[in-house]
Each structure stands twice: as C-alpha cells, then as structure tokens.
C-alpha cells in the first residue's frame, strides 16, 4: 500500500477500503502524513450525515449501532456507512476492537460498512482529534452516514460527539449518573434520548424521570425519548424515524449549516486548547526555569495567578 499522501488520498476518494484503513491508522498515530492526507481530502467532505451515539458504559450503544446499520443498509443499500467507536477508558485499540467485534460481527463482511475502533493508545493529538480526522476520512471515502460511538457521560466524551449533526444519548435502567448529569445541567441535552434495555422492569421509571427533566427545557426542538431493545432490534425503526425527523428539522432555516459551523469552531477551540495544554506540560517538564516558577508558588513566594501568567508568557508569548 503506497503511503505517499497524494496517491493515498486519491485511493480513499475512489472508495478503496485498504487505503481508508491505512489512512485512519496514520491519523490515529498522529503521523504528519495523516494530517497531510486529511488536508487534501477536506475539500471533498461535508456530504456525510454525522450521528453521535453516546452514553454510559454497557448501555447498549454498540448493539444499537449494529441494529441501526442493519436498518440503514436495508433502507438505502447504496449508502455506505462508516463507524468509529471511541473508548477513552480503553488503553488498547485491540481491546476496544474485541468488544465491538462481538457486537458488530454481522457487519464486518459488508463491503458497504467500514468499522474502526479507537482506544487511547497512540493518538499524539488526543482522542477527539483522532476521531474528528477519522470521521472526515470516512466522509471523503464516500460514507453517506458516519456513526460516532463514544462511551461515558463526562464533558470530554460529549466533546468527541460534538462534531455530530445529531446526538443520541443512550441510557438504560440504572444509568443514575447520566440522569443526574442531565438534571444538574452538567450534560448538554442531546437531540434524542434512547432508553435501551426496555425489557427491564425499571425502564418505565427511567422514562418518566427523563421526561420530567426534559419538560424543564425550552428549545425549538424537544428531544424525543425512544425505548429500544437493541439486541432484538425492537424500537430501532422508531429511532431511525426520530433521527430522520431531527434531520428534517435541521434542514430548515439554515439550522444544519449553523450547527456545523458552531460544531467545527468549538472543535477547533477544543483541539487548540488540548494542544496548548500539552505544550505547557512539555515545556514545564523540560525547562527548569518554568519548574522553578511552580516551586516558588509552593514556597508561597509567587501567587498562583502570577505563576500562571509567568508560564503563559514564557510558553506562548515568546
């Protein structure tokens, strides 16, 4: 497989799966060649519909993605689907892959579906950066749909899903933390809420809880709550219909355009902040003068804000 960006970019655009796999590996490892590739392909992106699927561990996100893929492929056989599953808690890509293999097995042989799992290994630029790049590559490859699965209910996981046009939060009975986060306003209200494992006796209670939180929200889009049983494919057609509704909503009054602009700009600020933090940490680790500023703070000779400004000036203003 050639690695020169020009040939690789052409092959990705032509729909070559091996080239795509190679390209994603490059961005995953933070290689300059990966960046080069994405910058060549970026003008050819923007066609894919991006769907973020997020939620606490084990609620059934991957099972749901699998069921949605089945549904999507049946409804529009010509539409290719790209899937990126991101697990910030998994140090090994292989480990992340193993779990998803089990959930998404039936789609591994489908040439119209491309699945990639990412753990925290590698990713010099961070997981958010790698997943954005991977989503862009899938888009350039010709995926009509890109599904981005992220685990967790923290801000950083939502950050990863933020580039999506539509965000689906998956919960199951027992997702107390996520419900609390929604209630406390810590977690942004997603576009659609799924209560998976609806076969569980406590599903109705959860549904009522979530509904009561949503009634406090006033937006021009009221997030629908959908009950599903991902393993049996139950409710998945309804979920597809609600996703389609949201897309229709976005298609009006320039909302999609506005959302994508806001998403991308916020993504750029997030990525820039992450880079700034890494630069600061690296400089402090290698420059004894910067280390000394921190030590002076600990000796109470330099107040924290002065210390901050000193570090900032040394690292960014020179």
Ligand X SMILES: Nc1nc2c(ncn2[C@@H]2O[C@H](COP(=O)(O)OP(=O)(O)OP(=O)(O)O)[C@@H](O)[C@H]2O)c(=O)[nH]1
Q: Which residues pair with 146 in a beta bridge?
A: 50, 82
In the complex with Mg ion, the residue whose CB is nearer, 54 or 209, is: 54
Q: Report, in Å, the least distance between residue 162 CB and ligand X.
A: 19
Nearest to 166, CA basis, from 182, 183, 146, 180: 146
- Cβ closer to Mg ion: 22 or 61? 61
CB 48 to Mg ion: min, Å: 21
CA distance 169 to 147: 13
Question: Rounded CA gap, 96 and 101, in Å?
Answer: 9
| Span from 55-63, 186-194, 212-220, 291-299 in contact with Mg ion (CB under 5 A) | 55-63
Q: Does 62 bind Mg ion (CB under 5 A)?
A: yes
Give whichever of 62 and 166 is closer to ligand X, judged by the CB atom. 62
Q: Which residues pair with 84 in a beta bridge?
A: 116, 148
Q: Calculate the dihedral angle through the C-alpha atoms of 307, 311, 317, 318, rounding to the nearest 10 degrees.
A: 130
The residues with which 225 forms a beta bridge, in sequence order, are 193
Q: Which residue is nearest to Mg ion (CB)?
A: 62
Torsion of CA 121, 126, 131, 132, to 10 degrees: -160
Nearer to Mg ion, 62 or 166 (CB): 62
* Local structure of 317: helix, strand or coil: coil
- In the complex, least distance from residue 70 CB atom to ligand X, rounded to whole angstroms: 14
| CB 264, min distance to ligand X, A | 26
Is the Cβ of residue 145 or residue 229 nearer to ligand X in the bound state?
229
Considering CB under 5 A, how many residues would be counted as binding Mg ion? Answer: 2
Stretch of residues binding Mg ion (CB under 5 A), selected from 62-70, 109-117, 201-209, 298-306: 62-70
Q: Give the neighbor-by-neighbor strand order of the sheet with 49-55.
A: 113-118, 80-86, 143-151, 49-55, 166-171, 192-195, 225-227
58 binds, among Mg ion, ligand X, none (CB under 5 to 8 A by kind): ligand X
Nearest distance from C-beta of residue 156 to ligand X, angstroms? 15
Nearer Cβ to ligand X, position 23 or 243? 243
Nearer to ligand X, 23 or 193 (CB): 193
Rounded least distance, CB 60 to ligand X, Å: 3
Q: Which does 229 bind (CB under 5 to 8 A by kind): ligand X, Mg ion, none?
A: ligand X
Q: Based on the number of CB atoms within 10 Å of its own CB, is 265 exposed (0-12), middle (13-18) or buried (19 or more)?
A: exposed
3 state SS of 61: helix
Judged by CB, which is closer to ligand X: 196, or 270?
196
Tokens at residue 242, please?
């609600």
| Interface ranges with ligand X (CB under 6 A) | 57-63, 99, 103, 151, 196-197, 199, 229-231
Q: Considering CB distances under 5 to 8 angstroms, the limit depending on partner class, which of ligand X, Mg ion, none binds residue 174?
A: none
Q: How far is the CB of 54 from Mg ion (least distance, A)?
A: 11
For 73, the 3-state DSSP assignment is helix
**Cβ–Cβ contacts within 10 Å for residue 92, how many?**
14
Give the phi and the psi of residue 189 in degrees, each rounded to 5.
Answer: -70, 125
Q: How far is the CB of 68 from Mg ion (least distance, A)?
A: 13
Give the total residue count for the chain: 318
192 binds, among ligand X, Mg ion, none (CB under 5 to 8 A by kind): none
Residues that bind Mg ion (CB under 5 A): 61-62
């Amino acid at each position: 497989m050639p690695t020169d960006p020009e040939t690789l970019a052409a092959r990705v655009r032509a729909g070559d799966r091996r080239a795509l796999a190679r390209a994603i590996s490059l961005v995953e490892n933070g290689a300059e060649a990966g960046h080069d590739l994405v910058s060549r392909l970026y003008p050819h992106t923007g066609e894919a519909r991006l769907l973020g699927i997020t939620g606490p561990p084990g609620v059934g996100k991957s099972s749901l993605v699998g069921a949605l893929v089945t549904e999507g492929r049946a409804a529009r056989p010509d539409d290719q689907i790209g899937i990126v599953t991101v697990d910030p808690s998994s140090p090994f890509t292989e480990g992340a892959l193993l779990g998803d293999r089990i959930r998404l097995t039936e789609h591994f042989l489908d040439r119209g579906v491309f699945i990639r799992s990412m753990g925290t290994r590698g990713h010099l630029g961070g997981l958010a950066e790698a997943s954005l790049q991977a989503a862009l590559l899938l888009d350039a490859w010709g995926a009509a749909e890109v599904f981005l699965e992220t685990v967790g209910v923290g801000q950083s996981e939502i950050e990863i899903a933020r580039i999506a046009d539509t965000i689906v939060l998956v919960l199951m009975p027992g997702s107390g933390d996520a419900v609390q986060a929604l209630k406390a306003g810590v977690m942004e209200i997603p576009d659609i809420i799924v209560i998976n494992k609806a076969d569980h006796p406590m599903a109705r209670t959860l549904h009522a809880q979530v509904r009561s939180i949503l009634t406090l929200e006033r937006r021009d889009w009221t997030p629908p709550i959908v009950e599903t049983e991902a393993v049996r494919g139950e409710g998945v057609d309804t979920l597809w219909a609600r996703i389609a509704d949201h897309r229709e909503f976005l298609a009006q009054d320039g909302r999609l355009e506005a959302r994508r602009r806001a998403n991308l700009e916020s993504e750029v600020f997030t990525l820039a902040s992450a880079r700034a933090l890494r630069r600061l940490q690296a400089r402090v680790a290698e420059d004894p003068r910067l280390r000394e500023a921190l030590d002076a703070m600990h000796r109470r000779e330099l107040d924290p804000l002065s210390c901050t400004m000193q570090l900032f000036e040394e690292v960014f203003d020179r």
